[in-house]
Amino acid sequence: MSQATPAIHVDDLRKRFRTTQALDGVSLDIQPGEFFGLLGPNGAGKTTLISILAGLTRADAGQATIMGHDVVRDYRQARRALGVVPQELVYDPFFNVRETLRIQSGYFGLKHNDGWIDEIMHHLDLAQHAGKNTQNLSGGMKRRLLVAQALVHKPPVIVLDEPTAGVDVDLRRSLWEFISRLNREGHTILLTTHYLEEAEALCGRIAMLKSGRVVACDTTRNLLQLTNEHCAQLRLDRNDVPVAWQDRLLRDAEGGWRINFSEYLELETLLADLRVTGVRVTEMHLQEPDLEDVFTDIMKRT
């Protein structure tokens, strides 16, 4: 890992809300240019962590910096470096899309930002709605506007808190294309999501939170290798399986068979034995381990 200033640096962050310990000593370093995933069940502390980075919540202890700027002490530089897409679908019903983006630019001290505003509106398919009052936008359009608002000041670090919750397939795809492009152009992305397949496809590294603690943090590739539970589903023309396999093969609800294995050699041996017995395989599906398996596994174990 490079020695450059981390895009996001979090050190032993703690936060308590009345009776719940939302964050219980979280430390993380996210390097510039990373696409980083933050996963965890509801109440794990993801949003609390993001809120502390954004200055919406104050930590009880610990430190957080954005591009080297302390989020409390140097809050101006820290917030200038950070764009946050909040989880809630919020909007200000007094203004239209362009006004919203102009005002948001103004908060960051940017007076003549229309060139960039037009560009983001274009990429997010908002251009044809520029004059529309925000309360007349569909849910998907409101989500796009939130993304646009987070980008008005071209922040090097972008945080997306469950940006695709309740969003249709089209928007999800175009949103990810746009975010991936920003990442390729050098922006650091921190993403929380409940869609594990999204995280698996997009994130280079992933941290998993549980009850305010980091229970796993590694590259997506390494995390996927934590589990080697493959699964094959078979349909056979006759149901008299070889005696040696009767313990391993499980009946599934549709009258087929299932086998869990860790080495492909096991599957090969099974197929060879079936052939010797004269049982023909009529259908076979292979299930590769995915992030969901790893996630479930880690959440259970810790």
Partner 1 sequence: MSGFSALFYKELLRFWKVVVQTVVAPVVTALLYLLIFSHVLEAHVEVYPGVSYTSFLVPGLVMMSMLQNAFSNSSSSLIQSKMQGNIVFVLLPPLSYLEFFLAYLGAAILRGLIVGLGVWAVTLWYAPFQLPHPVWLLAYALLACAIMAAVGIVAGIWAEKYDQLAAFQNFLILPLTFLSGVFYSIHSLPPFWQAVSRVNPVFYLIDGFRYAFVGQSDTDPGLGLLVAGACFVAISALTLMLLKSGYKLRH
Q: Is 68 in the site for partner 1 (CB under 8 A)?
A: no
Contact between 26 and 62 under an 8 Å Cβ cutoff? The reply is: yes
Q: Is 80 in the site for partner 1 (CB under 8 A)?
A: yes
Element at 274 (helix H, strand E): helix 264-277
Q: Is 84 in the site for partner 1 (CB under 8 A)?
A: yes
List the structure tokens of 181: 């492009």
Least Cα distance to 96 among 123, 128, 135 occurs for 135
Least distance from partner 1 to the Cβ atom of residue 231, Å = 43
List the structure tokens of 98: 């362009």
List the structure tokens of 4: 């450059």
Q: Is 250 in the site for partner 1 (CB under 8 A)?
A: no
Q: Is 256 in the site for partner 1 (CB under 8 A)?
A: no
Least Cα distance to 101 among 77, 130, 80 occurs for 130
Q: Which C-beta is closer to partner 1: that of 159 or that of 298? A: 159
Q: Which C-beta is closer to partner 1: that of 56 or that of 286? A: 56
Among 2, 19, 42, 111, binds partner 1 (CB under 8 A): 111
Least distance from partner 1 to the Cβ atom of residue 296, Å = 32
Q: Is 92 in the site for partner 1 (CB under 8 A)?
A: yes
Instruction: Find the part of the chain contacting partner 1 (CB under 8 A) among 95-103, 190-198, 227-235, 281-289.
Output: 95-103
Quote the CA–CA distance of 248 and 266 in Å, as a whole number.
Answer: 11
Q: Which C-beta is closer to partner 1: that of 93 or that of 255? A: 93
Among 41, 109, 139, 242, binds partner 1 (CB under 8 A): 109
Q: Is 47 in the site for partner 1 (CB under 8 A)?
A: no
Quote the CA–CA distance of 36 and 283 in Å, as a whole number.
Answer: 39
Q: Is 88 in the site for partner 1 (CB under 8 A)?
A: yes
Q: Where are the beta strands (DSSP E) in the chain?
A: 8-17, 20-30, 35-39, 61-66, 69-70, 82-85, 157-161, 188-192, 205-210, 213-219, 230-236, 250-251, 257-261, 281-287
Q: Which C-beta is closer to partner 1: that of 94 or that of 264? A: 94
Question: Locate tokens 């094959």: which residue?
Answer: 232
3-state SS class at 193: coil
Among 4, 61, 94, 170, binds partner 1 (CB under 8 A): 94
Least distance from partner 1 to the Cβ atom of residue 123, Å = 21
Residues in contact with partner 1 by the rule CB under 8 A: 17, 51, 54-58, 75-77, 79-80, 82, 84, 86, 88, 90-95, 99, 103-109, 111, 149, 153
